[in-house]
Amino acid sequence: MSDGKDSMRSIITVAVSVCFVCAVFVSATSVSLKPQQRINKELDRNKNVLVAAGLFEEDVTSLSEIPQLFERIETRVVDFQEGRVLSQQEAAAVGIDPARYDQRKAAKDAALSIELTDSQDVASISRRARYSVVYLLRDDSGIEKIVLPVHGYGLWSVMYGFLALESDGSTVGGITFYDQKETAGLGGEVENPAWKAGWRGKQVFDDAGDIALRVVKGKAMQGSAHDIDGLSGATLTSRGVQNLVAFWMGDDGFGPVLEVLKRG
C-alpha cells in the first residue's frame, strides 16, 4: 500500500513540477515578446498615419521605409478640455509620451476620460479620452497636413482610423481605417482603396463653418464638395462613418484644436 502511495505522490510531484516549469516558460516568453509587440504596434500605427497623409502606398512603399518617412511627421498632444495643443513640456508634465500614448486605453479609464451625454455621443463611443495625439506633416511654409485619430461605431463594431486634412483644416487629404469588424464586402468596404480615394478633396466644413461632409445613400452628386459615395448594402456602416466625422470634427472633438492648428 505504501508503494502505491509513494508512486502517486511521485506522479503528483512530477505533474506539479512540469506545470510550474511550463508556467515559468510561458511567462518568460510573454515578457520577452512584449518589447517586440510594442515595436510592431507602433510600426503599424505609423504606417496608417502615413497612409492617411498620402506618404505610404500599399504594395508600393516598403515597410522598411516607414521610419524614414515618419521622420517628416511631428507628433503632438492635444487637450480636448482646453481645446489646445500642448507643448512637449506640458505633455511630459501630465505623463504623456506621444510616441506611446494609448488613447483607446485612456478612454476606458474614468480618471483620464469623460463620459459623453446622449446628445454629445453621435459616434456611439460612450467615453472620450481627455488627451489625444495628432500628427502634423510640415513643409517649409508650415503645416501641410493634419492627421487625426478617429473612431466610431458602425454596424457591428467600433471602427478605428485616421483622417487627414489639408492645412486649411477642412479639405480632406486622405482617410484610412485599420481596425473594424464590419461585414466583408459590404461595410468592410471602408478599407477599399477606391472608396477611400473618393474622400480626397472633399470639404468637411461649409462656408459658414458648419460640418457639411456627408456619406450619402448611393452615388454622390458629381462635383459635390461635401458628399461621399455611400457603401452599397451597408447603410448603418455608412451612417457610422458620417457620425464619427461629425463627432471628431465637432466641438467635443478636434473642432477647437483645428482652429488653433490652422493658424500654424
Read out DSSP for 164-218?
Answer: EEETTSSBEEEEEEEE--PPTTTGGGGG-HHHHHTTTT-BSB-TTS-B--EE-SS
How far apart, in Å, are the Cα atoms of 184 and each of 192, 225, 231?
11, 29, 12
* Helical (H) or strand (E) element with 248: helix 235-248
Phi then psi for residue 6, to 5 deg, are -65, -40
- What does DSSP assign to residue 64? G
What's the distance, CA 178 to chain centroid?
7
pLDDT at 17: 60
pLDDT at 123: 98
For residues 66 and 120, what is the distance between their CA atoms, to the nearest angstrom? 36
pLDDT at 5: 54
Which cell goes with 5? 502511495
pLDDT at 30: 47
pTM for this prediction? 0.85
pLDDT at 19: 58
pLDDT at 32: 56
Per-position b or e across 14-30, b if 16+ CB within 10 A of its CB: eeeeeeeeeeeeeeeee
pLDDT at 264: 66
> Average pLDDT for consecutive 10-residue bins of the chain (264 residues)?
58 60 52 67 92 91 94 97 96 95 96 97 98 95 95 97 97 97 95 96 96 95 94 96 98 96 80
